[in-house]
């Protein structure tokens, strides 16, 4: 298994499945109410260049529940890459803590942390990938449909970091993936090519929402303007007109389809309030499973006998 958790593409299907199994087991063990501290004495440094609710809380709570501790390092505290080089930060942290979780803009930053440190580095989100979110989503889908293989997931919106990580997941599992996005908002071309080469299911990139969503078991969306793109928000609202996940869009999906969103959501933009708050929504199940998925990652990378 890879030392670091930077991208799902660094792992095999069996390794990700084992991580999901551990996450599910830790969820059961937590709900049993029996104290369970396999990471007692372990410490995680959490580096943030971006705001965070789910990532911050779930990693900190996850470490606490597993018996360890987490330290939040805000942008103004360490000024990563400015006050001192990223490599030097990694070389310092490896002397004090057992792992690093970093939520950064550039993906190269987490790669540099991993390259220069001997301890595991977890990608809490970069502009290129969001593997922690997809692990939680895979856990949620497996709970809902009792399997990942055979599921069709359709994403409506921007070909962003979440889409790139979904393409990585589609390359590992026998699932169909379709993206409907406006022209010019397609995902990373190299990630698409890798997914198409490795996937056993179908991979579709289209500008047609109906084509993408037809027969989907899961309809997924995300904000149109990600962190760091705020100056583009007005143009993006115009470009994404017609790409809102509404009840009408959900009606194009397969019977029993569910709606997913990685949050935070802008109701009325990428998803209607009727859908996100409706009976087909499993959005907050996803959010809950961020905790259990993070614990699966932490246990796999930091634990010797979880």
The pLDDT tens digits for 44-74 are: 999 999 999 999 999 999 999 999 999 999 9
Residue 304: the pLDDT is 67
Using alpha carbons only, what angle is made at residue 291 by residues 305 and 14, rounded to the nearest 5 degrees? 55
For the question of residue 290 being annotated catalytic, the response is yes
Which residues of the chain carry a pLDDT beneath 50?
A: 305
The partner residues of 44 in beta bridges, in order of sequence, read 70, 99
Contacts 24+ apart (CB under 8 A), 85-92: 86/112, 86/113, 86/116, 87/112, 87/115, 87/116, 89/47, 89/113, 90/114, 90/115, 90/116, 90/117, 90/121, 91/116, 91/117
Give me the domains of the chain, ranges plus CATH numbers: 8-130+289-302 (3.40.50.1370), 133-286 (3.40.50.1370)
For the question of residue 149 being annotated catalytic, the response is no
CA dist 296 → 37, 108, 136, 293, 300 (Å):
13, 24, 10, 5, 6
For the question of residue 197 being annotated catalytic, the response is no
Q: Which of 262, 286, 292, 294 is catalytic?
A: 262
Q: Which of 54, 103, 107, 292 is catalytic?
A: 103
Residue 72: the pLDDT is 97
Structure confidence by residue, pLDDT tens digits, 264-298: 999 999 999 999 999 999 999 999 999 999 999 99
Q: Which of 4, 89, 133, 158 is catalytic?
A: 133
Residue 79: the pLDDT is 83
Q: Which of 54, 130, 261, 292 is catalytic?
A: 130
Q: Which of 236, 290, 292, 294 is catalytic?
A: 290
For the question of residue 130 being annotated catalytic, the response is yes
Q: Which of 142, 222, 261, 286 is catalytic?
A: 222
Prediction pTM value: 0.96
For the question of residue 262 being annotated catalytic, the response is yes
């Amino acid at each position: 298994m890879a030392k670091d958790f930077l991208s799902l593409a660094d792992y095999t299907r069996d390794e990700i499945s084992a991580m999901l199994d551990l996450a599910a087991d830790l969820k059961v063990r937590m709900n049993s109410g029996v104290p369970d501290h396999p990471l007692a004495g372990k410490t995680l440094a959490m580096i943030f260049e971006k705001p965070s609710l789910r990532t911050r809380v779930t990693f900190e709570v996850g470490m606490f529940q597993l018996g360890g501790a987490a330290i939040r390092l805000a942008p103004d505290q360490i000024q990563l890459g400015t006050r001192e080089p990223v490599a030097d930060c990694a070389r310092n942290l490896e002397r004090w803590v057992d792992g690093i979780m970093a939520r950064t803009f550039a993906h190269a930053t987490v790669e540099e942390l991993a390259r220069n440190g001997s301890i595991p580095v977890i990608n809490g989100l970069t502009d290129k990938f969001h593997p922690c979110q997809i692990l939680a989503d895979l856990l949620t889908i497996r709970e809902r449909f009792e399997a990942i293989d055979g599921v069709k997931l359709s994403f409506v919106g921007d070909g962003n970091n979440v889409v790139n990580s979904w393409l990585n997941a589609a390359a590992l599992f026998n699932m169909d993936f379709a993206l409907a996005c406006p022209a010019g908002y397609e995902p990373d071309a190299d990630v698409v090519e890798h997914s198409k080469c490795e996937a056993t299911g179908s991979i579709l990139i289209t500008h047609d929402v109906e084509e993408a969503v037809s027969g989907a078991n899961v309809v997924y969306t995300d904000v149109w303007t990600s962190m760091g793109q705020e100056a583009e928000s007005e143009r993006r609202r115009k470009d994404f007109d017609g790409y809102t996940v509404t009840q009408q869009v959900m009606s194009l999906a397969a019977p029993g389809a569910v709606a997913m969103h990685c949050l935070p959501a802008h109701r009325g933009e990428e998803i209607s309030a009727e859908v996100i708050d409706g009976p087909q929504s499993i959005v907050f199940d996803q959010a809950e499973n961020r905790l259990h998925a993070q614990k699966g990652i932490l246990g796999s990378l930091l634990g010797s006998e979880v």
